[in-house]
Amino acid sequence: MTEQLPPTTTPDVPGTALAEDEAVRLTSELIRIDTTNTGDPDTLVGERAAAEFVAAQLAEVGYETTYVESGAPGRGNVVARLAGSDPSRGALLVHGHLDVVPADASEWSVHPFSGAVQDGYVWGRGAVDMKDMVAMSLALARRLKRDGIQPKRDIIFAFLADEEAGGHFGAQWLVENRPELFEGATEAISEVGGFSITVKDGVRAYLIETAEKGIAWMTLRARGRAGHGSMIHDDNAVTKLTQAVSRLGTHRFPIVLTDSVREFLQGISDITGLAFDEDDLEGSVAKLGNIARMIGATLRDTANPTMLKAGYKSNVIPSIAEATVDCRILPGRQVAFERELDEILGPDIEREWVGLPPLETTFDGALVDHMTASILAEDPGAKALPYMLSGGTDAKSFAQLGIRCFGYAPLRLPADLDFSALFHGVDERVPVDALKFGTRVLDRFLRNC
Ligand SMILES: [Zn+2]
């Protein structure tokens, strides 16, 4: 049974209702533009088409837009700015990525690029990651312009390529090559935050992302002596590498409670009365239901081996063996993480990595107050809590410009929806009611913040 959510409230400002409908329409239309990003530029399809679609929607209501291809053909990004009434205040960046991860249509109940609106949901790849937020932002950018509403601060709307493959042809490229587009921005909102979980008897907590674990995609390399596979051989690169990979893969890094996680757990305790046992945090967190996996991954660093590469023939011992390890590091843990890594891997294993550092900001200040108030105005009795995302987003790139980044893409979700499983999942979909709710929250937020 799907829980019955409270009825849609009547918008208090004319124009919001139209924006709500537009957000639903735009989510569906954006899903129909296949923007699959496998990481291989040769398989790229619709990023340019999606960027052109967004630019046209903005131009239609009078925006001047900047279209930028970030370092490679077809990698389309669109940026537009709405001037605020108080130029002394820092600009707010509202960013979203247009690309999506691949989807295999044979596994889905509806075609992943149909954008079907049925059973109260908009269905398709990108419905929650993150064409929903792109559509809500776009609908509200149009609404503010159309209705002549001037926000207090400049709002920069940015629609970006390549988030799903690291942003090298999207946010990261723009930060390195076109930072002037984000001139004056002090704070930002984007994906993977602002959604609700139902914690107790219909009491909803909205999780606002204030932190992200760092990403380090690490290559490990062992060297040995090449030789014939039939001989006694005591300097085998494959053996050395696999022993190190096995030690690392089974290692458990220590539990470290960062401020975001501590505040989140405290907030849940306050609502539910459940105490989190410091001696068995993982056991306590496991009782959180659908979000246990997500929160559990923010208690400690992880290092998961994901790829192995060595050799070219069964009877030739190769001189080099390589492994890839996906490391996710808590804020404040980089130095300790590397020290621990040294001990586990030993001196014979070379390592190099690419990635971006962790983020953490505090859950306070005027912007946080506005985020919270905008949610509570639409869902009285709810609570807003900070939380840490175990994954990464374009926020990591924008943080390099000194911008304080939050995950705030508000959605009021049914209690029984396993939201985190929809990200990159089969039958990805977003409730129509949640999109309308999020549009109302963001409308209030953008007008007042
Ligand atoms: Zn995303």
Distance (angstroms) between ligand 1 centre and the Cα of 395 equals 10
pLDDT digits (tens, 9 = 90+) for 373-426: 999 999 999 999 999 999 999 999 999 999 999 999 999 999 999 898 899 999
pLDDT digits (tens, 9 = 90+) for 139-153: 999 999 999 999 999
Confidence check: pLDDT of 180 > 90: yes
pLDDT at 4: 52
Confidence check: pLDDT of 2 > 50: no
Distance (angstroms) between ligand 1 centre and the Cα of 169 equals 15
Q: Which domains, ranges and CATH numbers included, belong to the chain?
A: 16-210+359-447 (3.40.630.10), 214-356 (3.30.70.360)
Distance (angstroms) between ligand 1 centre and the Cα of 31 equals 14
pLDDT digits (tens, 9 = 90+) for 66-92: 999 988 889 999 999 999 999 899 999
* Percent residues over pLDDT 70 in the chain: 97
pLDDT at 398: 97
Distance (angstroms) between ligand 1 centre and the Cα of 124 equals 14
Structure tokens at 246: 């096995």
Distance (angstroms) between ligand 1 centre and the Cα of 213 equals 15
Confidence check: pLDDT of 226 > 70: yes
Distance (angstroms) between ligand 1 centre and the Cα of 70 equals 18
Distance (angstroms) between ligand 1 centre and the Cα of 413 equals 18
Q: Of 28, 26, 45, which is closest to residue 100 (Cα–Cα)?
A: 45
427 Rama sector, left if φ>0, alpha if ψ -120 to 50, beta otherwise: left
Average pLDDT for residues 192-209, to the nearest whole number? 93
Confidence check: pLDDT of 191 > 70: yes
The 8-class DSSP code of residue 232 comes to: -
Distance (angstroms) between ligand 1 centre and the Cα of 388 equals 15
Global pTM reads 0.91
DSSP line for 306-365: EEEEE-SSTTEE-SEEEEEEEEEE-TT-HHHHHHHHHHHH-TT-EEEEEEE--EE--S-S
Distance (angstroms) between ligand 1 centre and the Cα of 16 equals 25
The 8-class DSSP code of residue 228 comes to: E
pLDDT bucket at 12, cuts 50 / 70 / 90: low
Average pLDDT for residues 163-182, to the nearest whole number? 95
